[in-house]
Structure 1
C-alpha cells in the first residue's frame, strides 16, 4: 500500500465531493492557531484513537507544514490499511494562502 501526493486544487475538489478525514500532524500550538476546516490534530498521544475511529475506506488527507513530513505519515497510514491516503503538496502553509476561507483560527 502507498499514498498519493495531492495538490491544493485536487484536495479542495476531493473535500467538496467526498467525506474526507484530514490528519494534521503539526504541533498542537500551530494547529490551535490555524488549521484546515474539519482537520484533526494527530500526534503520538491520540494516534491509537484516531486509527480506531477513522474508517480505512474513508479518503485521508495528511497535512504538515510544507508537505514534507506528511509523506512519511501518509505512508504510515497506508501501511495501516487506509485505501486512499493523500499527502498535501505544499502543506498547510500553501493551503492557508490558497484557500483561507477553508481555514479555522
Structure 2
C-alpha cells in the first residue's frame, strides 16, 4: 500500500488507544510547546532512523499544524513501506480543540 487515509481526531484517538504510533512533523519548538501525548517528533534529521527502527505493520498517524503538511509526510511514509498510514485532518489545532485534556509538553529546563 502506498496510500494513506485522512482521518478525524476521534478516529485518531481510537487508533491511538489501540496502539497506533503518532508522529508530529511540526517544527521542534511547536512540538515542545504542545503535542499529542506519546507523539514522536519527526523531522529531516530523525526520519531515516525512525523508518529504519519502525514496525511497518503498526498503524501510523501523522500530525502537523492544520492537516496539510501531514498529507505529504503520510504519502512519503506509505511509500517507504508503512502499511497503514493516516493523516490527521485538521492537524494538531483541531486535535487541541477536540481533546484539550490530551496535550503533552516537553519540558526543557
- The TM-score, its normalising length taken from structure 2, stands at 0.92
CA RMSD, 1 decimal: 0.7
Task: Name 1:98's counterpart in structure 2.
Answer: 98
Larger helix share, 1 or 2: 1
Counterparts of 2:22 and 2:77, CA distance in 1: 12
Structure 2: 5+ residue stretches without partners: none
Higher strand share: 1
Matches within 5 A, 1:22-101: 22-101=22-101
What TM-score, normalized to structure 1?
A: 0.96
Instruction: Determine if contact 2:62/2:88 at 8 Å carries over to the other structure.
Output: yes
2:54 and 2:90 map into 1 onto residues whose CA distance is 24
Please identify runs of 4+ aligned residues in structure 1 that moved more than 3 A: none
Q: CA deviation at 1:14?
A: 1.1
Q: In the TM superposition, what is the alpha-carbon distance from 1:62 to its structure 2 partner?
A: 0.2
Tell me, in whole angstroms, the C-alpha distance in 2 between the residues paired with 1:51 and 1:21.
12
1:102 positional shift: 1.6
Give 1:11's aligned residue: 12
Deviation at 1:101, TM superposition (A): 1.7
Cα shift at 1:7: 0.3
